[in-house]
Amino acid sequence: MAGVPHLMTLADLSAPQISRVIQRAALLKRVSKPWVSPAVGGKALVPGSGTPEPEQSLAHKTIALLFSKRSTRTRLAAETACLHLGGRALFLGTEDIQLGVNESARDSARVIGGMCQGIFARVGEHAEIEELARHSPVPVINALSSFWHPTQILADYLTLQEHAHLFPGSSSPSSSDALPELPPLTVAYVGDSANVLHDMLVTYPRLGHALRVASPPQPQYRAPTPVWDRVVELGCDKRITWVTDPREAVHGADVVVTDTWISMGQEAEKPQRLKDFAGYQVTEKLCREGGANPDWKFLHCLPRKQDEVDDEVFYGPRSLVFSEADNRKWTIMALFDLLFGKWDKTLLQ
C-alpha cells in the first residue's frame, strides 16, 4: 500500500541508509547486551537501575513471522529481537494459517495486517512477498525470498565492520559509540547465484568494495534478469567481476564467502549440482593457489555443508561465521525498530 515502508532488498536503500541501519544495529547490540548477560554478583538488572535499556518501540505491538520455509537463525533472531523491543513475535508457519490453502496472499495480508503491526515474511518465490507487500496495511520486511536476502547481508556487513581491525588500512571510529570504517575490500563469492549473493551484488559495490564471483558457466548459476537489472540500475556492475574459475575469483581477496549449492526446493537437482560445483569447495589450498590475501577471512550464512567449505576453514581462525550468525539478531532488531516500531519512511526515500 502507498506510504507503507516495506523492505524487499537492500537495493531499496541508499548506501547512507544501509550504513544507518548497521549503526542502529550496533547501538541496539551495545545497549541490549548488559540486559541479557549473566547477573553481576547475583543481582539482575531491573528497569530504573540507571543502565540504559533498549528503546521499547514495539511495546504493545505484535509482529507476524510468516514463514513458508523453515529457519534457525532468522526465526531465533526475529523472536528475540521482538522481545528486546518490548513486542511479541507471532510465528505463523505453513501448518498454522490458511495462506496458500484456502486463502489468497491478498486476503491474508489484509487480515494479518489488521491485527499485527508488521509482517516478517520468509517465502519461496519473490512474487509471493511482493504480493503481500502490495496489499498489507503494515510494513512487510523480506526475511528471504528466491531473489533476495537483505537481513543476511546487513549482518555480514556489521560483522566485517566489527572486525575492521583485521584488515590493513581500516580507520578508527570517530567516537567510542561508532563502528570503525572498513578500507576498500575485495570480496570473493564462490558458489551459486542465489539470494545471499544477489543482495551482495547491490550492496558491496555501493559501500566501496569490489566483488569477484565464481559460478559454473551454465545460465542457471548466474543472476536472473530482474536481479541483474537492479545491479545495473544502481551502477554496481562496474565493480563486479564474474568468472567460472574459483581460483581466479579469490585472487587478491580479503574476504571469501560461500553459501549452499542446493537451496530448499532444489533437492532433486542435488546430483547434478554437486557435479557442476566440483572444485568449488573453499579450502586453504584453493585460496593459496588462487592468491587470496594472506589474512583473508571467511563468511557463510549457515547452515553449512562440508561440500561448500572444509572444516579447516569453517572452524579455523579465518572464520567469522558465528559472529555473523549472532549479528542476524541485531540487524533484524534494527529493521524492526525503524520500520515496524517507528514507520520511518525516510529510510526508504
Of residues 89, 66, 69, 86, the one with CA closest to residue 77:
89
Q: What is the pLDDT of residue 2?
A: 67
Q: What is the pLDDT of residue 101?
A: 62
CB atoms within 10 A of CB 2: 3
CA separation (Å) from 206 to 201, 273, 289, 295, 340? 9, 31, 29, 24, 26
CA separation (Å) from 320 to 41, 202, 250, 316? 32, 22, 17, 9
Helix axes 15-36, 73-84, angle to 10 degrees: 70
CATH architecture, domain defined by 6-35+53-148+327-347: 3-Layer(aba) Sandwich (3.40)
Segments of the chain assigned to CATH 3.40.50.1370: 6-35+53-148+327-347, 152-325
CB atoms within 10 A of CB 293: 18
Report residue 161 as a C-alpha cell.
565492520
> What backbone torsions phi and psi does residue 207 show, to the nearest 5 degrees?
-100, 10
Listed in sequence order, the residues at least 6 apart from 247 whose beta carbon sits closer than 8 Å to its beta carbon are 286, 289, 290, 291
CA dihedral 128, 129, 133, 138 (to 10 degrees): 120
Of residues 10, 88, 47, 93, the one with CA closest to residue 331:
10
Q: What is the pLDDT of residue 345?
A: 86
DSSP assignment of 19-57: HHHHHHHHHHHHHHHHHHSPPBTTB---TTSSS-----T
Q: Which positions are catalytic?
A: 301
Q: What is the pLDDT of residue 98?
A: 65
Q: What is the pLDDT of residue 284?
A: 98
pLDDT tens track, the chain, 349 positions: 668 999 999 999 999 999 999 999 999 999 999 888 886 666 778 777 778 889 999 999 999 999 988 899 999 999 999 999 999 999 998 777 767 667 888 889 999 999 999 999 999 999 999 999 999 999 999 999 999 999 999 999 999 999 999 999 877 776 667 899 999 999 999 999 999 999 999 999 999 999 999 999 999 999 999 999 999 999 999 999 999 999 999 999 999 999 988 776 777 888 899 999 999 999 999 999 999 999 999 999 999 999 999 999 999 999 999 999 999 999 999 999 999 999 998 888 7
H or E element in which residue 114 lies: helix 105-115
Residue type, 136: S
Contact indicator for 252, 291 with CB cutoff of 8 Å: yes
CA separation (Å) from 64 to 8, 47, 70, 225, 285? 16, 27, 15, 31, 45
Q: What is the pLDDT of residue 176?
A: 67
Residue type, 305: K
Q: What is this structure's pTM?
A: 0.95
CATH architecture, domain defined by 152-325: 3-Layer(aba) Sandwich (3.40)
